[in-house]
Amino acid sequence: MPEILHVGIDLGTSRSSISASNGERFVVDSYVGWPVDMVARKVLKRGVLIGHEAVSNRTMLDLHRPLERGLLKEGSEKDVEAVRELLKHLLGLVGVSNGGSVSASNVRAVVGVPAAALRTNKQYLRNSMKGIVDSLLIVSEPFAVAYGLDALLHTLIIDIGAGTTDFCVMRGRYPTEEDQRTLTVAGDSIDAQLLKLIEERYPEANVTVYMVREWKEKFSFVGKASQKVIVTAPVKGVPTQLDITNEMKAACESLLPPVNEMMLDLLARVEPEFQERVRNNIILSGGGGLTRGLPQALEAALNQVGGGKVRYMEDPVFIGSDGGLALAIDAPDGDWEKLSG
């Protein structure tokens, strides 16, 4: 019997990660680009570029970011093709290929999607993954995170990605719509806010959303700044140092009111006898979880309702795909066979 490869995939708006049962783990930027013309194709020497390479060569590419708010954009064939290329690339990185050691027909995958993904979104994703893997289980991303951490009971997961911020209260059951919420205020909205604020303060600086995203990933913080945030950007073509400390703080803190409100709202819906346990067991994941000072800011909001504890995971990039992998491995063969094909 051919060896089965189990994989967990966190298909993210900004980054996608894969964890495989052969021990391989990779993360790529969720960008796919095709050369715009013959000249670009000749320069790039490839028909399709993925991840950071695609972003770096974007001037020569028809660049696609196929996931919007964590979901596959519907109605765009190019985006469906892009997501297929992205998935094939991720699987290729862990050794899956037609002529390689593991073929697609031996892959069982768990893919995480935003908590509030609709059934049509899930079915659309399933259709687009036909032929890429043998069996596919789609679960909500915060559920995959919770499963991977064994945080199955009296836990609130807050997964801050680029496109969405997902909330999920784990009650020892597969989360229902009552247990989950999704906000579209997330990393991308911080980027947009930061770009706007920088443009307002430095109207002559030439700044793109890609630069802003990189700065945010390096320097994001809420609360008191531990140091000034100084970045370099061209002003009238001259590389110039810009102090964006206040702008960074304001943009990152724009996340706090909606996240605090949603967190408190979900906590209030937990059975009263378990509320304190859930309040003391809040887990931050996703790239946004790396924002300095965020756990403390959320804990400050929890003081309104008796206090609580917010933990931050050290490895937020792989936490979702690792959770998906744990699920894939634990699921019995009989269940996988039902989803085969």
Partner 1 sequence: MTAARKDRVKRRLIQQAFADNLDTIRGLPPRAVRPRNRNARIWMRRAPLLLLFLTLAGSTYLASNPTSVRDTIGPAKIVMNRPARSAGVPPTSIDPTPVTAAALQLSVRRVIVDAGHGGADPGATSLLNVREKDITLDIAERLEALLKKNGFEVVATRESDRLIPLRERARIANESNGDIFVSIHVNSIIKHTASHGIETYYLGATSDPTLTRLAADENRVSGYSVADLRKLLDRLYADARRGESERLADEVQRQLVGNLRAADPGLENWGVKRAPFVVLVATDMPAILAEIGCMSNDTEVARLHRPDYRQHIAEALFQGIHAYASVADASQKKGI
Q: Nearest approach, Cβ of 334 to partner 1 (angstroms)?
A: 9
Choice between 94 and 116, CB closer to partner 1: 116
Q: Figure out which of the listed residues 64, 84, 89, 181 binds partner 1, where binding follows CB under 8 A.
A: 181
Q: Closer CB to partner 1, residue 263 or residue 310?
A: 263
Scored b (16 or more CB within 10 A) or e, 113-129 reads bbbbbeeebbebbeebb
Q: Is 2 in the site for partner 1 (CB under 8 A)?
A: no
Determine if 203 is a binding residue for partner 1 (CB under 8 A).
no
φ, ψ for residue 67, nearest 5 deg:
-110, 135
Contact yes or no for 205/233 (Cβ under 8 A): yes
- Which contacts of 122-130 are long-range, i.e. CB under 8 A and separated by 24 or more positions? 124/72, 124/74, 125/11, 125/71, 125/72, 125/83, 128/72, 128/80, 128/83, 128/84, 129/84, 129/87
Assess 25 for contact with partner 1 (CB under 8 A): no
Alpha-carbon distance of 80 to 263, in angstroms, equals: 33
H or E stretch at 195: helix 187-201
- At 201, list the tokens: 């303060």
CA distances from residue 317 to 12, 151, 237 in whole angstroms, order as listed: 10, 18, 35
CB 335 to partner 1: min, Å: 5
Q: State in angstroms the smallest separation of the CB of 35 from partner 1.
A: 25
Please check whether residue 116 is in contact with residue 182, taking contact to mean a CB–CB distance below 8 angstroms: yes
Q: How many residues bind partner 1 (CB under 8 A)?
A: 43
Query: Cα separation of 197 and 182, whole Å?
Result: 26
Task: Sketch the per residue contact string, 314 through 333, with partner 1: x for CB under 8 A, - otherwise.
Answer: -------------x--xxx-
Angle between helices 256-268 and 272-279 (to 10 degrees): 140
- Give the residues across from 5 on adjacent strands: 107
Region of 56-64, 133-141, 222-230, 293-301 interacting with partner 1 (CB under 8 A): 133-141
Separation CA 246–CA 283 (nearest Å): 27
Instruction: For Cα atoms 203, 204, 207, give the angle at the middle one, nearest 5 degrees.
Output: 85
Contact with partner 1 (CB under 8 A) among 36, 43, 261, 309? 261
Positions in 72-131 near partner 1 (CB under 8 A): 74-75, 116, 118-123, 126
**Shortest distance, CB of residue 112 to partner 1, whole angstroms?**
11
Chosen residue from 43, 78, 243, 265 binding partner 1 by CB under 8 A: 265
Report, in Å, the least distance between residue 77 CB and partner 1: 13
Nearer to partner 1, 54 or 80 (CB): 80
Quick check: 174 binds partner 1 (CB under 8 A)?
yes
Comparing CB distances to partner 1, the nearer of 36 and 152 is 152
Q: Which residues would be at the binding site for partner 1 (CB under 8 A)?
A: 74-75, 116, 118-123, 126, 137-139, 143, 147, 150, 152-153, 172-174, 176-178, 180-183, 185, 196, 257-259, 261-262, 265, 327, 330-332, 335, 338-339
